[in-house]
Amino acid sequence: MPEEKEMEKGKETSSRKQDHLRICAGGNVEAGFSGFSDVRLVHAALPECSLAELDLSTAFLGHRFASPLFIAAMTGGHRDAAPVNRNLAAAAERAGIGMGVGSQRAALEDPDLEDTFTVVREAAPRAFLCANLGVVQLRDHGIEWAERAVEMIDAQAICIHANFLQEAVMPEGDHDARGCLAALAALCREFDTPVILKETGAGISRETARRLWAAGVAAIDLGGLGGTSWARVECLRSPGTPQARIGDRFSDWGIPTVVSLAEVAGTGPVIATGGVRSGLDMARGLALGADLCGMALPFLAPAMESEEAVSGAIERFTRELGVAMFLSGAGTVKAMRSVRTYITGTTRQMIRKRQEIPDGS
């Protein structure tokens, strides 16, 4: 009865995903600090560009985007997710930006849930879409699951997510990470679709990035500390339990997004996600070397409301990015990437500490 067993697991995964959406929508799921407030862009008193004629378009993995804003993976795999995914996808299509879907595990275990993901491609026939699978599921089920995830939404890339902080907090989580890097390398070798390794809130160090490039990933999504905290989400999911206590203890574990960016930028294509909360944060991320800037939580409430609400949020972030670019004297995204920054506080200290370590170590 292996199929029935898979369907049973699908139901468990689906109900956990539904809990996550409900808890994140309820607020108070952010923890730690991203470092963005420690970054100042150098003001250009004579910008020599026009606010009305900025070029926000950019390229990533051979695709053209209207803006470097990326809607990071959030949902799918339970009934409440379908309208949320439809609203996100329709707004992404309209804005010409990319989007990732949430983990497709539940639909791979129980095909009845596939429509909560396929709705994304229906609403966004031309958008750049990223499939999503956990690195543990990749290790345990092999390339076939990655192929099915990509086919399900006709994706241009696949995000393989690493969430060992969350897994470690959950008593029923996957506590054995052995073999994941080898599985990732095998996928990169044998798969035509670009593979993005994605953290989910604890960041990527330079050492890990080096191993990921060697494994053959096409890009890294940093998923740094300072935004949605999965330790906190798991704490809120089981109040008063040992899981909640350990979740609380580790809620600010990880590498702040800006520090992670400083460690990884320049080594390959990078998406900066984790606590990006405005177009100004996006401009800061670009100046520090990000190719795209991802946001998840800021789109959740709008996506639960309507497509128009998501479009409104995209417009607001885009306007803020434009103002930051104009005041930095950057008429294009490429120019924004060479704007000088001042970095202060703990973020500066952490970056300095890393710079003291000789490269190659």
- Tell which one of 10, 13, 14, 24 touches ligand FMN (CB under 6 A): 24
Region near ligand FMN per CB under 6 A, out of 67-75, 119-127, 206-214, 332-340: 67-75
Strand partners of residue 251: none
Closest residue to ligand FMN, judged by C-beta, is 227
Instruction: Work out the end-to-end distance of the chain between its first and last CA atoms, rounded to an integer number of angstroms.
Output: 49
Pick 49 or 225: Cβ nearer ligand FMN? 225
User: How far apart are the C-alpha atoms of 181 and 312, rounded to whole Å?
Assistant: 39
Region near ligand FMN per CB under 6 A, out of 52-60, 167-175, 223-231, 326-334: 223-231
Please count the residues of this chain forming the interface with ligand FMN, following the rule CB under 6 A: 26
Residue 38, both tokens: 């420690």
Pick 41 or 135: Cβ nearer ligand FMN? 135
Closest CA to 103 of 9, 232, 14, 167: 14
- Tell which one of 10, 13, 20, 272 touches ligand FMN (CB under 6 A): 20
Collapsing DSSP to helix, strand or coil, 66 comes out as coil
Asked if 313 and 321 count as a contact pair (C-beta separation under 8 A), the reply is: no
Shortest distance, position 81 Cβ to ligand FMN, whole Å: 10
* Residues of span 186-215 touching ligand FMN by CB under 6 A: 198, 200-201
* Residues of span 299-318 touching ligand FMN by CB under 6 A: 300
- Tell which one of 13, 67, 193, 273 touches ligand FMN (CB under 6 A): 273
Shortest distance, position 188 Cβ to ligand FMN, whole Å: 17
User: How far apart are the C-alpha atoms of 59 and 253, rounded to whole Å?
Assistant: 32
Q: Vertex 107, ends 97 and 313: CA angle to 5°?
A: 25
Asked if 181 and 211 count as a contact pair (C-beta separation under 8 A), the reply is: yes
Q: Establish if 237 lies at the interface with ligand FMN (CB under 6 A).
A: no
Asked if 73 and 102 count as a contact pair (C-beta separation under 8 A), the reply is: yes
Count helices and strands in the chain by DSSP H and E runs: 17, 12
Pick 186 or 301: Cβ nearer ligand FMN? 301
Pick 81 or 287: Cβ nearer ligand FMN? 81
Shortest distance, position 359 Cβ to ligand FMN, whole Å: 27
- Tell which one of 86, 121, 139, 161 touches ligand FMN (CB under 6 A): 161
Asked if 98 and 65 count as a contact pair (C-beta separation under 8 A), the reply is: yes
* Residues of span 88-127 touching ligand FMN by CB under 6 A: 102-103
User: How far apart are the C-alpha atoms of 332 and 23, rounded to whole Å?
Assistant: 38
Region near ligand FMN per CB under 6 A, out of 42-50, 202-210, 273-281, 315-323: 273-281
- Tell which one of 14, 58, 132, 166 touches ligand FMN (CB under 6 A): 132
Pick 187 or 276: Cβ nearer ligand FMN? 276
Pick 134 or 331: Cβ nearer ligand FMN? 134
Residue 344, both tokens: 């202060």
Q: Vertex 221, ends 218 and 225: CA angle to 5°?
A: 160
Cβ atoms within 10 A of the Cβ of 131, count? 28
Angstrom distances, CA of residue 122 to CA of 100, 105, 127, 314, 320 = 14, 20, 10, 20, 30
Region near ligand FMN per CB under 6 A, out of 2-10, 50-58, 72-80, 320-328: 72-80
Shortest distance, position 102 Cβ to ligand FMN, whole Å: 3
Quick one: DSSP state of residue 352?
Answer: H
Strand extents, DSSP E, 175-256: 195-199, 219-221
Shortest distance, position 338 Cβ to ligand FMN, whole Å: 25
Shortest distance, position 84 Cβ to ligand FMN, whole Å: 9
Closest CA to 276 of 39, 53, 87: 39
Shortest distance, position 228 Cβ to ligand FMN, whole Å: 3
Give the binding site for ligand FMN (CB under 6 A): 20-21, 24, 72-75, 102-103, 132, 159, 161, 198, 200-201, 223, 227-228, 273-276, 295-297, 300
